[in-house]
Structures are given as structure tokens and as C-alpha cells.
Structure 1
Amino acid sequence: MSTSSQGAAAHLQRLVGEGNLDSVLQRLKPQHHPLPARFTGATSLSRASVEQRWGILAAAPASPERSTTIAAARAVLDPASAANVSGAADASASVHSNLAPYARNIEYAVGTVQLPIGIAGPLRINGSCTAGDFYVPLATTEAALVASYQRGAMLISEAGGCAAALLAEGVTRAPGLVFETVAQAGAFIAWAVTQEEAFAVVAASTTRHGRLTRTRMTVEGNHVYLSFEYLTGDAAGQNMVTLATDAICDYIVRCAPIKPRRIFVEANLSGDKKACTQSFQSVRGKKVCAEVIVPDELIRKRLHTTAADIAEYWAMTVLGGVISGTIGVQGHYANGLAALFIATGQDAACVSEAAVGITRFQLQGDGSLYACVTLPNLIVGTVGGGTGLPTQAACLDILGLRGAGHARSLAEVAAALALAGELSIVGALSAGEFAQAHRKLARRAPAPSTPSAA
């Protein structure tokens, strides 16, 4: 990354402010004075452990930016527990009792984060794996977001619903192997291509729900990348495929006639938690498309624009995406996916790869609008991970998709939600209402609190 000399000078001036460059450089040097106390017992949720953590926070050096008082303890508790907190002991006891359901999901726990949940829907989906009218829970702090998805959901539903289709599924893990020479790498490949069945047996020994379905191999000099693709049932499957791949790596070390000098369980070829171009040639998680044809009169009524204007605006955004170098072409998948993932206990970091895809708007001969989204990297599950936590399980219950047998349906809901968001945001931008909507919803005065009945 480069900058102009004028830009560099202006940035330095902002950093230095009223001080001098030497003081800024001094702050950047390593500091070796003793560290404050650290937390211990990473997975413990005992009252003593929670008390210890809050004690450390309370004893931390005070500053105007840091609050480790009882007010902070109340803030990370649910309202019912917070009302009973009057001291550190009360705080730790309340945290301890409320964190019990989270024991398998957190380390060094001190409390929970509370987020508002809104509902977008009904969203009518006519899918290959699910069908019905869905009320979609979205956890977000961004004003106007739920309202936008609600508008898109109603547009889709009034048009008869969107079709949604699961196109492919599979979760990858890509170990890397280091050999002395490319000749050794080639000899290893000659052995590895005979071992796919053995690899599958080894993987199956680590899980009842996962299955190795495909192995691909990439050679770069004396490096070999093995891409293992798994079906993971109704789990998102990130941990499942890691453990299965680790077992295969152990098998390779034991049995390969050409031993790798080093072997790493993941060598950054899988696309895990990052946007990459290989998404469009394969799948990571579940690949889903959703489409709807919306009559022009309905677009005029609900979006205050026309099908022709939306198609023209979309064509310009495609070129904008090409010029800026985006991977895929879409408006704001990340908004809806992040809110849905948090609400339903998915791995929120997977939004970094799930929010890659293609949105397409096409004007039909009869003046209607064809709208379609394709998302190749939906890492979602309805069992395991955070899906069993109290709030997240409740949100899956709202969808009717809690537990085994529903992961594919959740992926289709996610794609339909993305389609709703694309229709709404493109409608607002083509109608010139985007800023107006944010001004109205994001800057509205907070609602007055209602006193509780005594």
C-alpha cells in the first residue's frame, strides 16, 4: 500500500498533534515493565474463577476509558441478574449461574453480550429443501437493517415467494506437506492417489456424522497441498473436518513411503474465513441460489422505483465492482448474514467467506424484474457450536429449524434473506431513498422507557 508524500505528511501531523515525532516514536517501542495479573482456568465457570476474573478487572489500573466497576458487571449480565448485583461477590455469583449453559463455548468467561433481535418476515420460500413462510430473527445494532430486510421479504412474498435451491455442499480442510524436492513431492502424490479409500476410513473413525467425499492435490515445487472435502451432516463442521484431517495427517506420517519433512493440518488453501476466487469453482459449506420474478407494478408500489431503473443501476454496480476488484458482485450480503449468524449461533467469522457471491438483476420482456443471488460458501449448521445456546436455540425455534435435519433448510433461508436484502438496498439506491431511510431510522430519537409496574 502506498500514499502520496502530501498524504503521509498530513497523517504524521494528525498523529503528532501538539507533541513531537520523538514522543510518538517512543510510544512505539517495546515496554518490558511487569504485566498485570492474568486470568487462569480458561474453561472454568466456577464461582471462584469468575470472582478471580472480576477481581483482576477491578484491580486493573484505572483510566478514563476503562470501567471495571460494578456498573460494568451489571452491563454484562442479563437484566434479571443485574438487578441483584450490589457488589463483586454478587456479580460473580450471578455471572456464574448465568454462564453455565455456555461452558463449552467460551474461555475466561465474565458475562454475556446483549444484542437486540428483530424479525424480518414473513419471507415465503419455495425451496428444494424447505418451503413455507419464515419469520427470520436478526441480531444487530445497525438501525434500518431489519427494516430493509423486512421490506425485501414482503416484496418477495407478495410476488409469490422465491425459489431456492441447494446446488452443492462440502466443507474443506487443506493440509500442507513439505518435501525436500519436487521429485519427492511427485513420488508422494503417486502414493496418495492410491489412498483415497484409506483416507476416508481414517476420517470416518473420528466422527459419526462426517464423511470424506473428495480429495484434490496441488503441487507447488516441493510443497503439496491436499484439499479434503467432507459432508458434515447438520453441523457447520469446521471442528469436525479439522479433527478428521488431523487423523489423516497422522496416517500419512505413519504410512507414506516418502515422509514429508513437515506437515501442517491447514495450509491456507481451503478458503477458511476469507474471501477467495476459488469459491466460484467449488463449494465451502453449502452453495445455494435463490431467485424471484417481481412484477413492475409491485416494484413501483413497494420500492418506489421501476424494474428498468433497478436493472440499469445494477449494471453500473457490476462495473464498479470490476473496477474496485471485488470478489463477486453483490450489495450487502454481510449485513443480513452477520445478523442471522449471530442470532442462530453460527460462527460469525464465517461471514467473511459466506458474504461472497453473485447478485443479478435482469429486465424481462414483459417489464418484470428477474432477481437472483448465488452464495457458494454458506457455512451453517443447526446442531453443534453455538446453536444450542439459550437465545440462539430460541431463534432457531422461531424459524422451526432447530436440531438435526435442518441445516440445508437454514442455508436456503440464508440465501432467500440475502435476496431480500439485495432487492431492498438496490431499490432504495435506484429510487434515491437510501440516505433518507438511514436519516429517518438511524437518527431517530430513542423511545422513552416505560416504568415497570411495582
Structure 2
Amino acid sequence: MTMLSATEVTPIPTSWVGPIRVSGNAVDDEVRVPLATYETPLWPSVGRGARISRLVEGGIQVTVVDERMTRSVILTATNAAQAHAAAQRIRERQDELAAAVSAQSSYARLLEVHSEIVGNLLFIRFAFATGDASGHNMVTNAADALIALVRSWESGLEYGSISGNYCSDKKATAVNGILGRGRSAVADILIPRELVEQQLRTTAARMCDLVVRKNLVGSTIAGALRSGNAHYANMLLAFYLATGQDAANIVEGSQGITYAENRDGDLYFSCQLPHLIVGTVGNGKHLTGVEAALERLGCREPREPGENARRLAGLIAATVLCGELSLLAAQTNPGELMRAHVQLERAQKEQA
């Protein structure tokens, strides 16, 4: 097998969009955000949402409601009864497990343990706090240590796998939304009637109808799993690539629900993002462009562990709302979406 002598770099067009006005428990700032994408019409679309955020008092409010990273392991028993007895022992000795995690890591902290038994298979889902890291490697290392500890209790369990898909990593599942994985954030904004009509060229009533008909009913008949949105994945991938995240995590990251209300002509609009697998330290963050982007975003400041990653999650959630708001507004008007794409692509060709 021929080995590559050097790592090649794939160039992706990147634009800093905004600034976006964001408030809440993770960010209180006006910030431009980097979006790396070949789908360059995304930039002005997100930019329209960003412009609206600056015209509304407080802008987009983002509430980070939970933070955790998970790893599930498989241990095998002789039968279900033995697996059940082992699961009970694990619950009873969770403090011992937590101490073992703290002893082998400066940042990892055990939060919860959940178990499932299938036949003689014992699935154990560990949830950890991971500071500013997304935590993939951190939780795998911790899970390795916990497997060894559990097996040392002479429970008769054998090693099955370090990852049992009950985590669940880079797959669209229900468990992540129920038990949590990554940074969970909710972004919302209340847009006055005149801004809805002038900036979005639509009405609150038409927006709410579309959210129900497209995102909720349409997603349901398509078989979507704990998800009802127009295109979270577009903003997530662009932001992830620009900031050194594991891009495959948009699989679970794009699961989320858009919600809207017509409040006497004003538009309440919200995006729920329960699985943002992001961090400000770790793999990919050492690259020059990524490091510069994180510094410009204010995510390299001397803060308590976890606060920089929380800020990053907040900025991502606000960016998703900007893009979701703009696209749905365009889709309330016949032909607007296609006209906008054609105009933007024509302008880009003329500039080339």
C-alpha cells in the first residue's frame, strides 16, 4: 500500500457573516460568524436573519439547557439475570465509578449511568461533562477505565465493545434527544410585524402555517426522527468546517424542531438544537485557520472550563435560527427561493 507523503488541504469558500446579535446564558454580544460552504447562497440567507437580529432588542436569545458527552459500552453476561444483577451493582456503586473517572482525567466528570439489557448483553450508557472539548476521545478513555473497574468486581461480565451504539454517535436516534448528548440549546426571537413584512416579505400567519405544514406534518409523513426543520444541516456543516469540528456530527446535530407562533402579527420563532457536538479544544483546533476563527469568535478567552464551548454552541444555535428563518420566509412566496438562487449564482459568475 502506498503511503501519502503529505496531507493535502481541500479549499472551501468561507465568509464571515453578520454580525448576529445574540443574548442569553452563553453569549451576550454582536458577532460575525464563519461559514465554510460551496453552497454560497447560504451566506446572504443567513445574513438576512442576522440583519433582523440587529433590529430586534436583545436579538436572538439562546439558552443552553444541558451539556454532556456519552459513550455506551457492551458487556456480556451468561444470561439476562446475571446482566440485571450487574446493572444493579453498577447503579449502587456509581460514586465509585465517578471517582475513577475524576482520577484519570482533569476535565471528565461522570454525570449519569443508564443501562439496557438485551438477552445476555448489558449496554451501559455513560454521560460525562467534558469541559471545552467535544469529548469523543475523553469519554472513550473514561469508558475504557470504567469497563476495567466493573469487571474487577467479579461480576462475571466479559468485554463486548467499547462502543455499543446506545451512545449514540453520528446516527439519527431517539435516545440522544431523550437522555441528552452534546450541548443542548434553544434559540428564539420575537420579530415585530413591521419587520416580518419589510425584511422577510411575509407575515407571521404564513410563517406559522409553513412551519406546521412543512416542518412538522411534512417531516412526520417522511418518517423524521425527533426532528422537524427545514435545513439545520446547512448552517451546522458550514460552521463546523470553519471551526474544526467533526463534521460527521451534523447527523445527530441536525435533529431538532423549529417552532413558531403568531402573536397578534408579531412572529415568535424558535429553533431547538439538542445535540450540538462541538468544542473549542481537541482534534482539528490546532490548525492555523481554525485557531484564528475561534479567537475571532471570542472562544479562546480565559474562562471556566466549558464556558468557551458553551459560547460556541450559542453562536451556532443563533446562526441556525438566522438561516432557518430566512429560508422559510422565502418559501412562503411562490418562486422567491429559485429566483434568489439564480440571481446570486449569476452575480458570482460575473465576478469570476
- By the TM > 0.5 criterion, same fold? yes
Which protein is richer in strand relative to its size? Answer: 2
Residue of structure 1 in register with 2:174 after alignment: 277
| The one of 56, 59, 77 aligned to 1:179 | 77
Q: Secondary structure at the match of 1:174?
A: strand
Q: 1:427 is matched by which residue type in structure 2? A: A
Deviates more, 1:430-439 or 1:161-170: 430-439
Residue of structure 2 in register with 1:437 after alignment: 340
Q: Secondary structure at the match of 1:188?
A: helix
In the alignment, the residues of structure 2 paired with residue 186 and residue 396 of structure 1 have an alpha-carbon distance, to the nearest angstrom, of 46
In the alignment, the residues of structure 1 paired with residue 351 and residue 195 of structure 2 have an alpha-carbon distance, to the nearest angstrom, of 36
In the alignment, the residues of structure 1 paired with residue 163 and residue 322 of structure 2 have an alpha-carbon distance, to the nearest angstrom, of 35
Contact 1:185 1:219 survives alignment (8 Å)? yes
Deviation at 1:388, TM superposition (A): 2.4
Residue of structure 1 in register with 2:146 after alignment: 248
Q: 1:216 is matched by which residue type in structure 2? A: H
Contact 1:329 1:358 survives alignment (8 Å)? yes
Contact 1:179 1:262 survives alignment (8 Å)? no
| The one of 404, 417, 420 aligned to 2:319 | 417
In the alignment, the residues of structure 2 paired with residue 256 and residue 301 of structure 1 have an alpha-carbon distance, to the nearest angstrom, of 67
In the alignment, the residues of structure 1 paired with residue 125 and residue 348 of structure 2 have an alpha-carbon distance, to the nearest angstrom, of 52
In the alignment, the residues of structure 2 paired with residue 222 and residue 144 of structure 1 have an alpha-carbon distance, to the nearest angstrom, of 52
Alignment of 1:363 with 2:262, yes or no, is: yes
Residue of structure 1 in register with 2:236 after alignment: 337
Aligned residues: 344
Q: Are the structure 2 counterparts of residues 221 and 404 from structure 1 closer, same or farther at C-alpha, using a change threshold of 3 Å?
A: farther
Measured against aligned partners, the alpha-carbon deviations of 1:393-424 in whole angstroms (never above 9, x if no partner) come to: 11112212125631111111111111111110
In the alignment, the residues of structure 1 paired with residue 16 and residue 280 of structure 2 have an alpha-carbon distance, to the nearest angstrom, of 19
What does residue range 186-265 of structure 1 map to in structure 2 within 5 Å?
Answer: 186-253=84-151, 255-265=152-162
Q: Secondary structure at the match of 2:104?
A: coil
In the alignment, the residues of structure 2 paired with residue 315 and residue 128 of structure 1 have an alpha-carbon distance, to the nearest angstrom, of 29
Alignment of 1:398 with 2:296, yes or no, is: yes
Measured against aligned partners, the alpha-carbon deviations of 1:219-278 in whole angstroms (never above 9, x if no partner) come to: 12211111110000011111100001011112222x122222333111000111111122
Residue of structure 2 in register with 1:122 after alignment: 19
Structure 2: gaps of 5 or more residues: none
In the alignment, the residues of structure 2 paired with residue 403 and residue 211 of structure 1 have an alpha-carbon distance, to the nearest angstrom, of 22
Contact 1:213 1:229 survives alignment (8 Å)? yes
Q: Secondary structure at the match of 2:154?
A: coil
Q: 1:356 is matched by which residue type in structure 2? A: Q
Contact 1:282 1:376 survives alignment (8 Å)? no
In the alignment, the residues of structure 1 paired with residue 224 and residue 37 of structure 2 have an alpha-carbon distance, to the nearest angstrom, of 25
Deviation at 1:346, TM superposition (A): 1.0
Deviation at 1:205, TM superposition (A): 2.7
Deviation at 1:436, TM superposition (A): 1.0
Q: 1:183 is matched by which residue type in structure 2? A: A
Q: 2:345 is matched by which residue type in structure 1? A: A
Q: 2:16 is matched by which residue type in structure 1? A: I
Measured against aligned partners, the alpha-carbon deviations of 1:17-71 in whole angstroms (never above 9, x if no partner) come to: xxxxxxxxxxxxxxxxxxxx421xxxxxxxxxxxxx36xxxxxxxxxxxxxxxxx
Alignment of 1:164 with 2:66, yes or no, is: no
Deviation at 1:324, TM superposition (A): 0.5
Measured against aligned partners, the alpha-carbon deviations of 1:3-25 in whole angstroms (never above 9, x if no partner) come to: xxxxxxxxxxxxxxxxxxxxxxx
Deviation at 1:117, TM superposition (A): 1.0
Could you tell me the TM-score, scaled by structure 1's length? 0.73
In the alignment, the residues of structure 2 paired with residue 434 and residue 282 of structure 1 have an alpha-carbon distance, to the nearest angstrom, of 37
In the alignment, the residues of structure 2 paired with residue 182 and residue 214 of structure 1 have an alpha-carbon distance, to the nearest angstrom, of 22
Measured against aligned partners, the alpha-carbon deviations of 1:192-232 in whole angstroms (never above 9, x if no partner) come to: 22221121122223311111111111112211111110000
Contact 1:285 1:380 survives alignment (8 Å)? yes
| The one of 39, 45, 49 aligned to 1:152 | 49
The CA RMSD measured in Å over matched residues stands at 1.5
Q: Are the structure 2 counterparts of residues 219 and 404 from structure 1 closer, same or farther at C-alpha, using a change threshold of 3 Å?
A: farther
Residue of structure 1 in register with 2:9 after alignment: 112
In the alignment, the residues of structure 1 paired with residue 161 and residue 99 of structure 2 have an alpha-carbon distance, to the nearest angstrom, of 20
Q: 2:64 is matched by which residue type in structure 1? A: L
- Percent identity reads 34
Contact 1:249 1:263 survives alignment (8 Å)? no
In the alignment, the residues of structure 1 paired with residue 105 and residue 53 of structure 2 have an alpha-carbon distance, to the nearest angstrom, of 40
Q: Secondary structure at the match of 1:401?
A: coil
In the alignment, the residues of structure 2 paired with residue 314 and residue 189 of structure 1 have an alpha-carbon distance, to the nearest angstrom, of 43
Contact 2:13 2:38 survives alignment (8 Å)? yes
Q: Which has the larger radius of gyration?
A: 1
In the alignment, the residues of structure 1 paired with residue 175 and residue 135 of structure 2 have an alpha-carbon distance, to the nearest angstrom, of 20
Q: 1:135 is matched by which residue type in structure 2? A: R
Q: Secondary structure at the match of 1:234?
A: coil
Contact 2:167 2:176 survives alignment (8 Å)? no
Q: Are the structure 2 counterparts of residues 190 and 277 from structure 1 closer, same or farther at C-alpha, using a change threshold of 3 Å?
A: closer
Measured against aligned partners, the alpha-carbon deviations of 1:286-321 in whole angstroms (never above 9, x if no partner) come to: 111011000121011111111111111111111111
Residue of structure 2 in register with 1:64 after alignment: none
